[in-house]
Amino acid sequence: MKIGNVDVKISILVIVVFVFFALLIVVASFSSPAVRSQLYWMLPALILLLVMPMALNYMTRKEYADLEPVYEREARPVRIRMINESMIGKIVKIEGVVESVRFQFLNRPQFMVADRTGEIPVKMFTSPPEDIRKDDLVEVLGSVIRRYMVVGDPVVNCVSIRKRDKNAGPEGKS
């Protein structure tokens, strides 16, 4: 679903939960007349199970879209092996190949991106605008954070991840 220029995506997990509770309400309303009198609050609550995740996804994706030009201006291109503890909080731009994709079904994907110098986890707190798969060549804009907020290895908190043409040079020119 598209709202303005933001493409809103609903996680498959949200749909499963919605269907489960919808079926539960249908079965309960047929088995007990007392449940039918409670439908006036059950149906809006059921709809909120879809609306709230959609609203959160919309707000996050809109915020990321607004941050993307700022990150484009301020990002410093780096090789993955250069990312270390001293870069926490810095805005970086990395290019590499996606080695693996996890948690995409939750709309909170984590990509393992590798270049010739190493690999690093790239976390995104919303779904990317385009479908990123294993072995895609990508350009990542993000900031370096710790894996677990105050402890852990440095990882990239991704604001933008875009596919690149595999035949393109470092600046995207063929």
pLDDT in tens, 146-174: 988 788 899 999 999 999 887 665 554 44
Model's pTM, two decimal places?
0.78
Distance linking the first and last C-alpha atoms of the chain: 34
User: Which helix (H) or strand (E) is 36 found in, with range?
Assistant: helix 33-36
Taking residues 91-117, report their average pLDDT. 93
Selection from 86, 130, 105 nearest residue 158 by Cα: 130
Alpha-carbon separation of residue 58 from 11, 80, 101, 102 (angstroms):
12, 30, 22, 21
Domain spans, the chain: 2-73, 77-163
Give the Cα separation of 18 and 43 in Å (integer): 11
Taking residues 118-125, report their average pLDDT. 93
With beta carbons less than 8 A apart as the criterion, state whether 81 and 117 touch.
yes
With beta carbons less than 8 A apart as the criterion, state whether 83 and 92 touch.
yes
Architecture in CATH for domain 77-163: Beta Barrel (2.40)
